[in-house]
Structure 1
Amino acid sequence: MSRLPRRPAAAVLGVAAAFLMAACGQSAATNTGNAADGGGRNPDELVLAAVPSENAQSLQQAYQPIISLLQKETGKKVRFQSATDYAAVIEAQRTDKVDIAQYGPLSYVLAKNSGVKASPIAAQTVTKGAEPGYKSYGITKAGSPIKSIADFKGKKICFVDPNSTSGYLYPKAALLQAGIDPAKDITPVMTGGHDASVLAVNSGQCDAGFAEDSMVDKILIDKGQLKPGDVNTVWKSDVIAGSPVAISDDLAPDVKAKITDVFQNKANVDYLNANGFCATTCKAADDAGDWGYVKVDDTFYAGVRKVCATTKDKQCTAS
């Protein structure tokens, strides 16, 4: 059964921070084609990248229905490019190696802050008609004496990635609000993935940790890697703006219009299933997949910028 891609997570435990795309190959900017439709790049091939998830192969499989849809609607080849970490996607779009990027909320804000010329066109939503959004969870192993985020002080705490919204930024803000200095009062561990963070807590490698809600509530349970009740959720964030797709501003207007139409009107399980883009059936929200994408713009991420202002995190002001 096919599935739509989940909200972005990081890759695997211990992934190295790197500002390079894996096997990035030819820059998207060098394949300019004929920009006779109003100026801008009009490449023969579009490159789509996403901040990493469980592993590169499963992530590409998850995006395959959307890749096929983009190819049909744009008349262009679409290549999925795997990335080494969150920062790799930012750097790749900055250097015109990526035309369409699936970010997390924070990594999108960081991309804009660091000068990436791209605009959000849509964000992922779990349920049709619902505003795109999700939550960060603070978790402990079942039976732990830690009952609230205030008890995280002095403990070994698992995070996901410094550029992760639900796996780092919102948790850091919550720790500060609880009177805990993340630089002095805890021992932080960057696991590289939401799945890795949860599993490290469950195995006892960390006393507590943070991850996106769906990784705790459903994904790892569905995979058989976690049993209901193995971990306790002792903290939940406010709703975080859904993960955006951003397209490069220097693409030709006609190309941007076609990509925008795909994500705002067609990249959802209803359309993909009805038009044969899924090998069997694309999964909906109640079957471990998101429903699809809905229209957003830059102002939708004001909440993330507000949390950045609270944490004063260096990533938020990267240039």
Structure 2
Amino acid sequence: MKLLTSTALLALMMTPAFVAPAAAEGWKDDYQVVKFGILSGENEQDRLERNEPLRSYLEETLGVKVEFFTAGNYDGVVQAMAADQIEFASFGSSSYAAVYNATNGGVIPFLTSQKLNGNTGYRSIVVTRCDSGIKSLADAKGKVHAFADPDSTSGYAVPYFNFIEKEGFKPEEYFSAVPFSGSHEAGVQGVVNGTFNTASTYQNNDEDGVYQRMENKGMIDEGVVCKIWESPEITSGPWTARASLPEEMIADFAEAMKAFPTARPEDYKVYSSFDPEDPNPDNGYVEVDHERYQWIVDMREWLRQQRRGG
């Protein structure tokens, strides 16, 4: 079957009242089990609990068995997609660039999340203990700084790039150590515990981010963690499909995802970590294509050259 291009998919999904053709049932004969990958941005239990309403909804809507795929780090999901072990995955921008390179462009980004005010981005931030005496990156010089994961956009790629290109220092030389915590929550928890002096993570706004959600869940005390730096806005990562999948299968999955917030509003709230006090919560999905993320692919290449040069 001819592979579906991002442009063709976008045009298809934007067709008013799109209904998959009768032939779309054909893909279910070959894909009776559909697997989607989720990244390790939070602890395993919370990750599975938050995604279970979406899994159940997709299984009922698509009429096939739907299963999670999880891994201990981002690269595990990237490699699973590259090895054709999963059909779909929700990637961050940098991990999307990683899977794009790992598959030689054999993936299709098709949706990204949108906020109530229409924004489709977030920011990398650096956090520390509020009582650490560290108020800026200048104060953090010579301290231990934790990045989240080598394939994390906000937890590594964007802060590393900005530290060198915008702030004027190389992390390996500026900090006393730059370990990877393994996940955003682990980095924040390490700051709270004193394992790290600072850590890179992300937030959507000052009311909604990794450490704010950890406060809401009772994982850390409120007021212990403070932000000392933030990046320019980052485009939210995309839901991504293997390009080798049938066109109708990708379109059906995309339509189901787009309908999820209105078809199952309470389940969507669980999946999106809805906070009733957040003035700008997630509000659904908009279509994207690869061009939206080309700059991230370019940034990853810059990072690769930096590592080679080092």
TM bracket, shorter-chain basis = 0.7 to 0.9
- Residues 267 and 293 in structure 1, CA contact (< 8 A), matched pair in contact too: no
Identity %: 26
1:266 aligns with 2:265: no
Describe how 1:1-319 pairs up with structure 2 within 5 A: 42-115=30-103, 117-125=106-114, 127-128=115-116, 130-176=118-164, 177-186=166-175, 187-213=177-203, 214-216=208-210, 218-263=212-257, 265-268=258-261, 270-273=262-265, 284-286=274-276, 290-308=282-300, 311-312=303-304
Distance 1:280 1:148 in 2: 34
- Residues 141 and 207 in structure 1, CA contact (< 8 A), matched pair in contact too: yes
What's the C-alpha RMSD, in Å, of the aligned pairs? Answer: 3.0
Distance 1:233 1:279 in 2: 26
Q: Alignment length, in residue pairs?
A: 277
Q: Once the 2 structures are TM-superposed, how far is the Cα of residue 136 of structure 1 from its aligned partner?
A: 1.0
Instruction: Say which SS state the counterpart of residue 291 (structure 1) adopts.
Output: strand
Unmatched 5+ stretches in structure 2: 1-22
Instruction: Say which SS state the counterpart of residue 152 (structure 1) adopts.
Output: coil
Unmatched 5+ stretches in structure 1: 1-34
- Residues 28 and 64 in structure 2, CA contact (< 8 A), matched pair in contact too: no
Hey, what does 1:4 align to over in structure 2?
Answer: none
Distance 1:312 1:105 in 2: 16
Distance 1:48 1:287 in 2: 30
- Residues 163 and 170 in structure 2, CA contact (< 8 A), matched pair in contact too: yes
Instruction: Say which SS state the counterpart of residue 161 (structure 1) adopts.
Output: coil
Distance 2:268 2:127 in 1: 35
Q: Once the 2 structures are TM-superposed, how far is the Cα of residue 83 of structure 1 from its aligned partner?
A: 1.5
Q: CA offsets, 1:24-76, max 9 Å, x none?
A: xxxxxxxxxxx997889931111111111323333222222222232233221
- Residues 185 and 211 in structure 2, CA contact (< 8 A), matched pair in contact too: no
| Amino acid corresponding to residue 88 of structure 1 in structure 2 | G
Summarize the Cα distance change of 1:72–1:121 in structure 2 as closer, same or farther, 3 Å threshold: same
| Amino acid corresponding to residue 163 of structure 1 in structure 2 | D
How does the TM-score come out when normalised to structure 2?
Answer: 0.79
- Residues 137 and 228 in structure 2, CA contact (< 8 A), matched pair in contact too: yes
Q: CA offsets, 1:139-162, max 9 Å, x none?
A: 121133332223333221111111
Query: Which of 235-244 and 278-287 deviates more?
Result: 278-287
Q: Once the 2 structures are TM-superposed, how far is the Cα of residue 220 of structure 1 from its aligned partner?
A: 1.1
Hey, what does 2:11 align to over in structure 1?
Answer: none
Distance 2:235 2:122 in 1: 7
Q: Once the 2 structures are TM-superposed, how far is the Cα of residue 258 of structure 1 from its aligned partner?
A: 0.4
How does the TM-score come out when normalised to structure 1?
Answer: 0.77
Q: CA offsets, 1:107-147, max 9 Å, x none?
A: 0001101225211111123x235232111111121133332
Instruction: Say which SS state the counterpart of residue 301 (structure 1) adopts.
Output: helix
Instruction: Say which SS state the counterpart of residue 267 (structure 1) adopts.
Output: helix
Q: CA offsets, 1:139-186, max 9 Å, x none?
A: 121133332223333221111111111111111122213222123332
| Amino acid corresponding to residue 199 of structure 2 in structure 1 | G
